[in-house]
Amino acid sequence: QAQLVESGGGSVQAGGSLRLSCAASGRTFSTYVMGWFRQTPGKERGFVTAISATGGITRSTDSVKGRFTISRDNAKNTVYLQMNSLKPEDTAVYYCAASPLGLQVGTFAYKYWGQGTQVTVSS
């Protein structure tokens, strides 16, 4: 059974950094677009960033450009999210997801989801 498991979340002060990992198992995701989404209580899950199957193309929401970097290692079936210059508004549960479609920003395009990892940024 295909599974995505996030790790690396935690608490950090504003300006700090965290690196999230998403380990895939149960199938190979080397042909899938991989994305990161985030959600805060009472709000819809929103797109953060995504990376193409080969890793050559990325797409990010404006609020994280220049601060967050997505990467992948297909040999390890793992996707990473390096988050720098974190802000309190980055506080959320972060979800990893896999899509058989292109670099989509809508949750509808993603077939597999992880359970999420909490990121808390204090001011």
Give the model confidence (pLDDT) of 59-84 as tens digits: 999 999 999 999 999 999 999 999 99
Q: Is residue 1 scored above 90 in pLDDT?
A: no
Q: Could you tell me the end-to-end alpha-carbon distance of the chain, in angstroms, rounded to an integer?
A: 40
**Average pLDDT score over the chain:** 97
pLDDT band at 24 (very low <50, low <70, confident <90, very high): very high
Question: How confident is the model at residue 71, as a pLDDT?
Answer: 98
**Stronger pLDDT, 15 or 28, i.e. the higher one:** 15
Question: How confident is the model at residue 27, as a pLDDT?
Answer: 87
* Pair 74, 32: CB distance under 8 Å: no
Residue in the structure block whose two tokens are 């890793």? 55
11 to 6, 15, 17, 99: CA distances (angstroms): 15, 12, 10, 29
For Cα atoms 34, 86, 66, give the angle at the middle one, nearest 5 degrees. Answer: 60
Question: How confident is the model at residue 25, as a pLDDT?
Answer: 92
Q: Is residue 95 scored above 90 in pLDDT?
A: yes
Question: How confident is the model at residue 91, as a pLDDT?
Answer: 98
pLDDT band at 28 (very low <50, low <70, confident <90, very high): confident
